[in-house]
Amino acid sequence: MSSQNKLREKICLLAKSLFDRGLTGGSTGNISARCEDGSLLVTPTGSSFGSLDPNDLSCIDAFGRHVSGLKPTKEMPLHSAFYETRKSAGAVVHLHSCYSVAWSMMPEVDPENVLPPLTPYSIMRLGKVKLLPFFMPGDSAMGDALRGLGGKHTAVLLANHGPVVAGKNLEASCHAMEELEETAKLAILMRGFHPRMLTPSQVKNVVTEFEVEWW
């Protein structure tokens, strides 16, 4: 099996795992991954993570042209912006996961650093997550907003919409996405309880120890 075919299978396998565990539902969410030749494999528009066919995945060449498969997700501006600004990105995952979307609407959320420091793991895997304003789904302005961050973030949260995470490969992107969702869930569960969070010095130690990008 070629490396691209293996990647096709892996995209579908991980997407179904996310779907089966309720991290995205219906025909929501999209995934892209970079191939060895610089092309991208992308989940098609209107597709469900629960029933993807490896042969249907969209293929976008290194020049941004759709060359095979079904029509790609309308959120391509988000994916393209991450690949353009973070050269280390090997995959991008965008979900409409429940707790992350709910947390994006909370009035106390810090737009510069969305996730409260409840555990070291969200810091290690995500760095600071930036809150972007609401955009109409598929609006190319989302990509422009992401480019405006200059590649300084591995993850963003779209207000009233959902998280977008870039990682060095498909597994890393999915794991970081799950960490974002779990931290948002913790934040919702702890809301109003005044939880004991990591102190600034503890956060600094995590950032230093694990060489986290902390802009």
Among candidate residues 45, 47, 56, 38, the one with its CA nearest the CA of residue 18: 47
Whether 209 is catalytic is no
Res 12 pLDDT > 80: yes
Q: Which domains, and CATH codes, for the chain?
A: 3-209 (3.40.225.10)
pLDDT digits (tens, 9 = 90+) for 124-144: 999 999 999 999 999 999 999
Residue 205 has pLDDT above 90, yes or no: yes
Phi, psi of 68 (to 5 degrees): -165, 165
* pLDDT tens string 100-119: 999 999 999 999 999 999 99
Q: Is 44 helix (H, G, I), strand (E, B) or coil?
A: strand
Query: Distance of alpha carbon 123 from its chain centroid, rounded?
Result: 15
Tens digits of residue pLDDT in 34-91:
999 999 999 999 999 999 999 999 999 999 999 999 999 999 999 999 999 999 999 9
3 state SS of 70: coil
215 pLDDT higher than 90: no
The answer to whether residue 121 is catalytic is yes
Global pTM value: 0.96
- Per-residue pLDDT of 154-168, as tens digits, reads 999 999 999 999 999
> Which of 108, 112, 121, 209 does the annotation list as catalytic?
121
Instruction: Report the alpha-carbon distance of residue 163 to residue 125 in Å, rounded.
Output: 14
pLDDT tens digits for range 185-203: 999 999 999 999 999 999 9
Distance of CA 104 to the CA centre of its chain: 14
The encoded tokens of residue 103 equal: 């947390």
Please pick, among 75, 178, 179, 181, the residue that the annotation labels catalytic: 75
Residue 97: CB atoms within 10 A of its CB come to: 25
**176: its two tokens:** 């970081």
Q: How far apart are CA 111 and CA 108, in angstroms?
A: 9
Task: Please determine, for residue 1, whether its predicted confidence score (pLDDT) is greater than 90.
Answer: no
The CB density around residue 105, as the number of other CB atoms within 10 Å, is 10
Q: What pLDDT sits at residue 44?
A: 97
| H or E stretch at 166 | strand 162-167
Pairing of strands 40-42, 58-60: antiparallel
67-74: which pairs have CB atoms within 8 A and are 24 or more residues apart? 67/39, 69/42, 69/44, 70/44, 70/45, 71/44, 71/45, 72/42, 72/43, 72/44, 72/45, 73/30, 73/32, 73/42, 73/43, 73/44, 73/45, 74/45, 74/137, 74/138
Q: pLDDT at position 120, please? A: 98
Q: Kind of pairing, strands 30-34 and 40-42?
A: antiparallel
